[in-house]
Amino acid sequence: MFLRPLEPRTARTTAEVIKFALWPLAVMTVLNRVFIKAVNGFITDDYRPVYQASLDFLNGRPVYTANFDSVDPHYLYPPSGTLLIAPIAAIDYEKSRWLFIALNAIAILIAWYLLLRLFRYTLNSVAAPALLLAMFTSETVINTLVFTNVNGCVLLAELIFIHLLLKRRDLWAGAALGLSIAVKPTLAPLLLIALVRGQWKVFVTALGVPLGLTAIAWPLSKDPEKFLTRTAPYIFESRDYFNSAIVGNGEYYGLPPWLTWGMRVVLGVLVLISLWLLYRYYREDELFFVCTASGVLLTASFLLSSLGQMYYSMMLFPFLMTVVLRNSVLRNWPAWLAIFGFMSYDKWLSDRWQHIGRNLEYLRITFGWGLLLIVVFCVLGDRYLAARREGRLPFGIDPAWMRSAPDPRGEAPQRPVPAADSAPAAETPRPHNGSAPVEQNRISVEP
């Protein structure tokens, strides 16, 4: 009976065929990434400076002593992050690194499951192995494990935050976000989502947790003030290596400051317009709004700030998953061309065409993030202009076909929104600021 679920069966439906094919591919890919690639490691080692800083913290030695003139990975976590991570140095380096790889791999797997549940898919759906395979073939997951970075735990914190935010459990949502901010501020832009939704209690724990941990860590550290006087200024400086932000590539290619600032300002304006349209017309569609707005905010922070690295893109998984929603802004080929740029593990360095290959490899992440923001702006802008032209703005900006299209789950399609000049008064839909509820928007891939 125990082995019954493992018995080979002949698939009866297309969905079962896909599931039977994808599960072995997904599982073996996960095992390869965790036990082979990650354990083998790479010349880039994000973990060694973290381990050394933790060891120094536990032994009462100065922590913030990195040589910022080198291009080696530096220890940049604040005292609160040092306090949280310090226990990893209680054992020797090799076993500690393996443990940290396992910790991040488990965090990514839990985040994968939470992402499925967020969009109401089960482990029995086709989406489960497809999403697992996609995640573990992406550059962001592979290099997070290979470089032994903490990004897997940050992704888990993001998924927990989104789940709890949507359930209005504000203090716990803020606590999850606060723990991640205590280590690195990657998810700090998500506080804006809580702000515009009026969930003020999120700020209590999102700011209180890192401040409390800092208060504990400060007297225990040998040189905590060096983080403020030495490390923090370096964090806010732009650098021309391992930096896919606009300013980083601008410095690498020698672009004039006015040009890099011009690109940052123009894209910043597009981001602001996109966020306004999302808030104005989609905030009642909570899942779509939270995941899409968070994706726009995080992409903008990677691209427009002083530092953006490719594996930060892991935090965009909730945004990319919105493709299963009928009103998703990602259901077009330019969006996935952009996603290929910053998610693909392919290398474009060429022995035959070295100059072209180097440019493709260095710029594809920057172009990918930038194109994604442009796509979001264009899709939302086109919807807005079409709705204004057709007099549908009081009823939202989703095209009429989204409501009248058949539902793959076999449910009755929604009635299309009538044009303002032809709708009978008795049948005019009630104006609202959001689109249809997510239960009626989701595209199912279950059999």
pLDDT (0 to 100) of residue 7: 63
CA gap 410, 447 in Å, rounded: 11
CA gap 192, 161 in Å, rounded: 13
Helix (H, G, I), strand (E, B), or coil: what is residue 442? Answer: strand
Sequence-distant (6+) residues with CB within 8 A of 127 are 116, 119, 121, 324, 445, 446
Q: Which of 369, 321, 41, 149 is CA-nearest to residue 141?
A: 149
pLDDT (0 to 100) of residue 432: 43
For 6, which DSSP code?
A: G
% of the chain residues with pLDDT over 70: 88
Mean pLDDT computed over 357-369: 95
Q: Which of 377, 81, 382, 73 is CA-nearest to residue 239?
A: 73
Cα–Cα distances (Å) from 136 to 66, 93, 131, 149, in that order, read 32, 25, 9, 15
Q: DSSP secondary structure string, 200-244?
A: THHHHHHHHHHHHHHHHHHHH-SSTHHIIIIIHHHHTS--SSS--
Mean pLDDT of the residues in the chain: 88
More confidently predicted of 402 and 390: 390
Name the pTM for this structure: 0.89
Mean pLDDT computed over 393-406: 79
Is residue 436 over pLDDT 70? Answer: no
pLDDT band at 378 (very low <50, low <70, confident <90, very high): very high
Burial of 58 (0-12, 13-18, 19+ CB in 10 A): middle
CA gap 75, 158 in Å, rounded: 23
pLDDT (0 to 100) of residue 439: 39
Helix (H, G, I), strand (E, B), or coil: what is residue 325? Answer: strand
CB 244 within 8 A of CB 346: no
Cα–Cα distances (Å) from 53 to 42, 49, 98, 147, in that order, read 20, 6, 17, 17
pLDDT (0 to 100) of residue 404: 65
pLDDT band at 31 (very low <50, low <70, confident <90, very high): very high
Mean pLDDT computed over 149-170: 97
| Element housing 413 (H / E) | none
pLDDT (0 to 100) of residue 102: 97
The neighbouring-strand residues paired with 325 are: 442
Q: Which of 246, 241, 285, 239 is CA-nearest to residue 263?
A: 246
Mean pLDDT computed over 229-247: 89
Residue labelled with tokens 């802008």: 381
Q: Which of 150, 149, 143, 153 is CA-nearest to residue 177?
A: 153
Count CA within 13 A, CB hemisphere, residue 255. Answer: 17
For 199-219, write each residue's pLDDT tens digit.
999 999 999 999 999 999 999
Q: Which of 110, 194, 105, 175 is CA-nearest to residue 144?
A: 105
% of the chain residues with pLDDT over 90: 78
For 61-100, write each residue's pLDDT tens digit.
999 988 887 878 889 999 999 999 999 999 999 999 999 9
CA gap 132, 113 in Å, rounded: 9
3-state helix, strand, coil in the chain (%, to 5): 65, 0, 30
pLDDT (0 to 100) of residue 8: 67
Is residue 364 over pLDDT 60? Answer: yes
pLDDT (0 to 100) of residue 71: 79
Q: Which of 197, 142, 194, 140 is CA-nearest to residue 171?
A: 194
Is residue 28 over pLDDT 90? Answer: yes
pLDDT (0 to 100) of residue 440: 37
